[in-house]
Structure formats: structure tokens, C-alpha cells
Structure 1
Amino acid sequence: MLRVRRTGLTCDILLQDFHVKKMRVLDKQKLKFNSVDGRDVYNITAPFKDEGEWTIAGRVEERDSEESNIVFFNERNGVWTPMEDGPVFPMQDPFFSCIGGELVLGGVQTFTNPAVPGALLWRTVFYRGSSVRMLMPFFVGPDGMKDLRLVELNDGRIGVFTRPQGVKGGRGKIGFVIVRSLEELTVELIAEAPLLEEQFIETEWGGVNEARMLANGLIGVLGHIARFDKDGNRGYYPMVFALDPDTGAFTDIEVIAVRSNFDLGPAKRPDLTDVVFSGGLVRSDDGTAILYAGISDAEAHCLKIPDPFLRLEALDRSVITPVHI
């Protein structure tokens, strides 16, 4: 039977679905960091192996500032400690992928908006190398675009997730395009990437935080969907969906966690209390997964939950409604 994708899904509908499912929280933890001079660490990546050590990249900044650095941490007796002689990048919101056997790391760079005095603009900057200490910049995305993400497809090509805002994209919509190599990345290609139509309503927005190949050939996407409530407070919710890179078909968004699932903690500002910014998901063979996330723009937490990709990985690709992208 053909699976019909629902349209007009809102945060309210997705949250209602989430609460009906009564997802089990198997464990939760607030990550501990040292040697950051009292600054906050949040919007982290999931741990990844670098030169044989588990490593996390995190956004580090003062509570009352948006001026950030990306710092790399290694785990020492349950505490994450800055990597010895590790690089520090003046950027926000790190992410990583593995492309062609190389580590590809990115982050958001802010700079003075040339059209609006006193305002900032942003862009995504990519680095590549055999290890964290060998990372070198190789590509700068379009001005005004966050949440660019890369995934190596099974045939060696590279899927590129985009998130334009403005005339194309409104408050932020997800696009997708395929390139044959990192050298084919261009600002024009990213700006022209077709959108995944009808994924967000006009007053809400979302983006991709991490993408991976699933066993059935679909791309498993970990992302976020977001909105303003009636009081102007932001709500960010971790979500997943799957996309078929060959047909452009994609599944409904599914919220996988909310702020109340995590430990209590402070917020950078009162309007950011309900913010969970997906960082990465570590899957286990026992059917569970650990979600790493930034919480309320102030802390880094993790949550052990049933693996949300298992259901998507079990799908027959032919039953996902095709769309043209």
C-alpha cells in the first residue's frame, strides 16, 4: 500500500504525536566540561573517534555573549577536557561528517552585515583533514545560510542538505542536491538546491543537524523543527526523517525528544528555555541510541532513547511517496 505523506505538519501536531507515543527515556546525563574559564559549552557534536580518542566539538561562549569558539574536547574520567594543542575556530554550532575517509568539520561564522550597520550576518565554513589537528578550510557557503550538511552516499557521491532563508525558504526550509565530489561544491549550486516541498508551514522552520546512510539505502536525517510561541519564545525540537537520494521521496518528520525529557538546567535567556538543538545521534546494536544536544543555549546534555532510525531503516523504499526535487 502506498504510504501517503502528510502535509501541513506543525509543531503542535508533531508534539501531540510525540506525547501519544510516550517515548521511553532510558537514561539522561548533563555533560561536564572543564578548563573553559566558566564559559558555557553547548550545541555539541556527538562523540567521534579522532587519533584513537573520543572527541566532541562544542560551542563555547560567555552566558551574556554570542561571540563563540568551537573547541575540541577529549573525555577524561567522565569529564570533557579541551584537546591538548587542539585547534580553536572562531565559529558557532560545530558539526562533522566523514567524506572519502576524511574528517569534514563545519561551523557557523558570523560577520558584520554590510547592508545593515551594527547587525551580524552568518555563513557556514567547512574544513577537511585526516584528523582534527590537520583540518584546513576548503569551502565557504552562501551568506545568510546555516545548517548546511553533507553525507557520503553509498555510490561515493555526496548529498548536500541546505537551508535557505528569505525569498526562498522563508524562515528556513531544507533543500537537497547531490554532487560527485567536494570539489563540485559551489555557492550557486547550494543556493539553487530544490527544497523539500511542504515540509514546514510558513510560520515555522527547520534544518538538518546530522545525516547518515541507513541500511536500506535511505538517508537518515537528524534535525530540528522550530517556532515562536504566542509570547515570542522559541521552541526547538529534535526530529528525524528519511530521504531517498534517488527519487527525492521523504518521510514525515517525527519529533524524538522535548526539553522536559532532559535534566533541569539554566537558559541563556528566558525566551530560549524550550530549546533543544540536536547535535548528533550515536546508534547501538541493542536498539537504543544516544542523542547529544545543546540545551537552552547554555548546556550540553545527552539522552538515551529507543533508536528512532530503526523504523525508518525497516521501510521499503517503494512505499515512500515520491516527490520531485
Structure 2
Amino acid sequence: MLQQKDNTLRTCKELLLEFKKEKIQVNSSKIKFILKQNGKDVYNITAPFFADGKTWIAGRVEARDSEYSRIGFFEESEGEWVETEREALNLQDPFVTRIGGKLVLGGVEVFEDEERPGYLNYRTVFYRGDGILDLSRFAVGPDRMKDIRLCELEDGRILVLTRPQGERGGRGKIGYRFFESLDELDAESLQQATLMEHQFIPEEWGGANELHRISGGNIGVLSHIAGFDTEGNRHYYSTAFCLNPETGEYGPMKMIAERRNFQPGPSKRPDLEDVIFSGGLVRLGGGKAELYCGVSDAEGQKVLIDDPFDEYENR
């Protein structure tokens, strides 16, 4: 039974304490990426996906001292992931899904902020096509909104989760709304999503990362929760929850991984050491899943965990 009142609300600290009590056994490994040009990091990756007859991972390719990046498409080859020769999409944080039989890819576009000279603005942009070689841009989200994710429901409607900030969303809350077609997707309509009010305290924030259809018409939401410590360091954790799109009810968020569950490695900056960014989840069956994450804004890794959506199946 999903519940959505105040008892769903957990802080980062509370979720972390609950997670550590479970003493979860995990098995993590770094993913080796072969770049067209060396000297850059690959992080905030998708889970593997199938397109053009091959298996791919899309990842954020970026210099350690920059916020300007491209999306690289990596093909699996003998245990490594090799970047393909494709025209670059100059975006951050890729995500993929399939809607109406088409591959849909999104990412975050960074550009100069006209209202605040010297600062960067950002927005989510969307591409679609039969595969990665013929993607064309078709929609743009609102300025300063990341973590927009899409899922085609059984009846053909499209569920979209958003993450407004500012007057409506504070530091970042999750919203949801429905579309009949991808052609309806635009910045104004994405601002009109209904907010999930009991996921984050005002001092913290989070968002959706990937949506999975599960039993009973429910949606399993791979997500993240984040906050600052007293010294201004960021702490990001991988989380999951279940959403009933028909009623708007959602279950309590639970933590499924933290930075210490992954292999040691570098970080982009000292304040990003304790950061993982949920990229995608591959459900393996038998109660297990592989979670793909960006780690410390410098690497891509995967970890074998208990399937966070298994408990919602067949209910």
C-alpha cells in the first residue's frame, strides 16, 4: 500500500542511518571507457541500452577543470566501452528511454546566463530517432530545470517527472504530469507539474533519474537525494521509491547506495568526494539489479545491489 503523507519524509541523515543498519552486501567495479581523445573524465552515465543492433552506454565526457561537456556514446568491446565516431552532442548528464518505438535521449545544455553575466544557465533538451545515429532535437525544457524523466505507460500516455526549483520547488522537488504525445512537451507545460510535497526537507533536494514500469501500473523511480554539510560539501545518495501514476500516491524513499559502496577514486573537486549520481538500473531478476552511477563527478562505476523494485512486484 503506497502512502504519501508526512511519513514518507526522510532526511539524508535518516535515510543513511536506515541504510547502514541493513548492512547491505554490494559488489562494485569501475567501468573502463576508451575515448576518442584522452585526458577527459567519463561520468554520470546511463545504464547499458540497445540501439542500432548494438549495446551502448552514454556518458558525460568532460575535462576535470570544466563544466562544458559532450555526451559520448560507448560501444561494448571485450569488456571495455569504446567511444563511437559520432557528431558530439554538447550536453551533460544523458538519459535514455523508448517511447512509441523511438529512442529518446535527453541531456542538460549549459549556456551563458544573460540575466547574470559571468554565470552559467542550463536547461534540459530532448532528442529522438530510430537510433543514436539519427537523433534530432525536438523539445526544450525550462531554464534551470534538470532531472526531467519520461516513461511510456501501458495505455500509451507519457508520464513525465520534473524538478522545479525556486519559488515552487525550493532547492529541488519532484513533480509529475502526463502527456498524450511527445509533441506536447515544452517548457511551459513542464512547469505545470504537480509536486510531490513530502520527499525532501527545505534544506535538501533531489530528483528522478530513471523510470521503470512495474506491476499493477506502478512506476519504480530511480532517484537521488542530496544536501550540503556545514562546510559546504555536497553529499549525494542513490535512492528509489514507487509511484502510482493514477492516484499520485508514492511510497517512502529508500536509500540504495552511497559513495562508500563504490571503488575508491578521484573527484572533480574536494567538495564532490561524497557524490554519486544515479544513472540507470538494469533489473537482472532473482531479486538483484546493477546500478550504474557517476562517482565523485569523475568516474563511471556499477554496483550489484538488491533490486529496489522487487518488493512492489505482484502486489
CA offset at residue 179 of structure 1?
0.8
Query: 2: CA distance between counterparts of 1:71 and 1:8?
Result: 36
For structure 1, list consecutive stretches of 5 or more residues without a partner in the other structure. Answer: 317-325
1:321 maps to none
2:243 maps to 243
1:304 maps to 304
The structure 1 segments of at least 4 consecutive aligned residues displaced by more than 3 Å after TM superposition are 1-5
Deviations, residues 136-194 of structure 1 (Å, cap 9, x unaligned): 00000011111111000111000010000101100000000011111121222111111
Query: 1: CA distance between counterparts of 2:305 and 2:55?
Result: 21
Matched, 1:145 2:168: no
Counterpart secondary structure, 1:141: strand
Would the aligned equivalents of 1:71 and 1:87 in 2 still touch at CA under 8 Å?
Answer: no
Q: Give the alignment of 1:109-188 within 5 angstroms.
A: 109-188=109-188
Counterpart secondary structure, 2:34: coil
2:57 maps to 56
Residues 4, 158 of structure 1: alpha-carbon distance in 2 compared, 3 angstrom cutoff: closer
Query: 2: CA distance between counterparts of 1:262 and 1:145?
Result: 28
Counterpart secondary structure, 1:189: helix
Would the aligned equivalents of 1:75 and 1:81 in 2 still touch at CA under 8 Å?
Answer: yes
Residues 4, 109 of structure 1: alpha-carbon distance in 2 compared, 3 angstrom cutoff: closer
1:76 maps to 77
Deviations, residues 42-74 of structure 1 (Å, cap 9, x unaligned): 000000011121100000011111110001000
TM-score where L is the length of structure 2: 0.97
RMSD, aligned α-carbons: 1.3
Matched AA of 1:266: P
Residues 7, 220 of structure 1: alpha-carbon distance in 2 compared, 3 angstrom cutoff: closer
CA offset at residue 294 of structure 1?
0.2
CA offset at residue 131 of structure 1?
0.3
Would the aligned equivalents of 2:283 and 2:290 in 1 still touch at CA under 8 Å?
Answer: yes
Matched AA of 2:90: P
Counterpart secondary structure, 2:222: strand
1:87 maps to 87
TM-score where L is the length of structure 1: 0.94
CA offset at residue 29 of structure 1?
0.8
User: Percent same amino acid among aligned pairs?
Assistant: 53
Deviations, residues 24-49 of structure 1 (Å, cap 9, x unaligned): 21x21100011341200000000001
Matched, 1:20 2:24: no
1:205 maps to 205
Deviations, residues 215-258 of structure 1 (Å, cap 9, x unaligned): 22101100100000111100000000011010000000000001
